[in-house]
């Protein structure tokens, strides 16, 4: 869940610096989430185009820092550090549109736009208030996506004789005081709604039977809540199960052999990282070329494997056209039925936000008392 955390500060790193004496080359300035752009893709993009362009990719540790930069550039349009293209989480898209921090893009300029699955095309088509609108403008280009997943200790579950497959398993008595959950009303109430057969985006919470009771029971299972410090307790075995972002957890599998991941069969929450253009930015032809490059079917599998997050393009590709490492990874490429049952976290509106906050505070107070 660190990728959406509002708590951590940003550290800026440089992936590709401008080379001295190369002023004649076309330049594309990108601001990205840390580790968001694999270096191999930067090299491939530069090799594929002639004249070979320079990509100046500056990384930030948190998506909130990228959003803050967009706000800064609106106040100071001529800022020297302004980028041509910025990575932004779909969570921030509504605010970026409302605050006029970004400008629309023209999908007709991308040869590969039609290869995007329809639900991702719909996600970025919004009205001027940032709400989904089939007649609205396109405000961003989907780049990669992931999901909220269950991570569990295979060594601990071996003794239990079962493994988690769905949200309902979090309520099993064997997991009392063995679970960590995100410190997020939207995520915890959302997964409880999924257990009850509802959407993450349900707004009339007081009309959902048993929701409060189910939440209270779930909280009795929880050892602690954290959106950014849950990995170490899981690694050490202090917790047996954690709910977190696939973006955090997929890289963990490379070093932790006793940890496995599963996407709940009833569906989960989806997140998407997007490319947006700052409102005050000038047209740069390389912006269109980079976005179209990221949407290429020949690039999408490589992007998915290297970035540990899925390109939307792979969802629409034939299985035989995908490498085995993608085809057989149920987190990178979930079963179509699970994906169809999963939800993007859409804007709730002020009334909906207040409902979630109130219920979350009530449950947490009950648990703490």
DSSP letters for 146-178: EEEEEEEEHHHHHHHT----SGGGGG-GGGTT-
Residues 108 and 6 in one domain: yes
pLDDT for 3 equals: 52
Pairwise CA distance, residues 53 & 55, whole Å: 6
Whether residue 339 is contained in a domain is answered as no
pLDDT for 349 equals: 84
Pairwise CA distance, residues 182 & 363, whole Å: 14
Pairwise CA distance, residues 144 & 188, whole Å: 23
The whole-number average pLDDT for the span 128-143 is 97
Residues 163 and 140 in one domain: no
pLDDT tens track for 7-61: 222 333 344 443 333 456 889 999 999 999 999 999 999 999 888 899 999 999 9
Whether residue 342 is contained in a domain is answered as no
Given the DSSP bridges, would you call strands 102-103 and 27-33 parallel, antiparallel or unpaired?
Answer: unpaired
Number of domains comprising the chain:
2
Residues 312 and 297 in one domain: yes
Residue 105, strand partner residues = 138
Domain that holds residue 19: 2-145+272-334
Pairwise CA distance, residues 270 & 188, whole Å: 14
pLDDT tens track for 64-104: 999 999 999 999 888 888 999 999 999 999 999 999 999 99
Residue (of 55, 121, 113) closest to 84 by Cα position: 55
**The token pair that represents 161 in the structure block:** 């004789």
**The token pair that represents 157 in the structure block:** 């579950």
Residues 225 and 353 in one domain: yes
Pairwise CA distance, residues 308 & 91, whole Å: 19
């Amino acid at each position: 869940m660190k990728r959406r955390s509002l708590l951590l500060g940003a550290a800026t790193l440089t992936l590709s610096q401008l080379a001295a004496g190369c002023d004649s080359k076309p330049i594309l300035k990108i601001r990205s989430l840390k580790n968001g752009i694999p270096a191999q893709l930067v090299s491939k993009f530069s090799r594929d185009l002639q004249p070979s362009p320079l990509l100046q990719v500056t990384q930030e540790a948190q998506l909130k820092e990228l959003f803050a930069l967009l706000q800064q550039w609106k106040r100071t349009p001529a800022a020297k550090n302004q980028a041509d293209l910025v990575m932004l989480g779909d969570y921030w898209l509504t605010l970026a549109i409302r605050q006029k921090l970004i400008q629309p893009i023209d999908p007709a300029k991308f040869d590969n736009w039609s290869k995007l699955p329809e639900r991702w095309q719909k996600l970025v088509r919004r009205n001027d208030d940032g709400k989904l609108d089939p007649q609205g403008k396109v405000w961003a280009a989907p780049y990669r996506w992931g999901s909220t997943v269950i991570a569990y200790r295979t060594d601990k579950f071996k003794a239990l004789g079962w493994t988690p497959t769905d949200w309902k398993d979090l309520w099993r008595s064997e997991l009392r005081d063995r679970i960590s959950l995100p410190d997020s009303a939207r995520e915890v109430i959302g997964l409880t709604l999924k257990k009850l057969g509802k959407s993450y985006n349900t707004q009339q919470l007081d009309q959902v039977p048993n929701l409060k009771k189910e939440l209270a029971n779930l909280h009795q299972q929880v050892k602690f809540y954290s959106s950014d410090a849950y990995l170490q307790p899981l690694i050490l075995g202090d917790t047996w199960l954690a709910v977190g972002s696939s973006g955090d957890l997929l890289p963990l599998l490379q070093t932790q052999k006793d940890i496995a991941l599963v996407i709940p069969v009833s569906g989960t929450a989806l997140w998407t990282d997007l490319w947006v253009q700052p409102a005050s930015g000038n047209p740069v032809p390389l912006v269109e070329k980079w976005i179209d490059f990221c949407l290429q079917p020949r690039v999408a599998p490589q992007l998915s494997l290297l970035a540990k997050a899925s390109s939307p393009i792979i969802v629409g590709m034939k299985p035989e056209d995908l490498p085995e490492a993608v085809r057989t990874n149920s987190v990178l490429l979930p079963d179509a039925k699970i994906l169809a049952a999963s939800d993007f976290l859409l804007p709730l509106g002020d009334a909906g936000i207040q409902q979630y906050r109130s219920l979350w505070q009530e449950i947490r107070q009950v648990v703490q008392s």
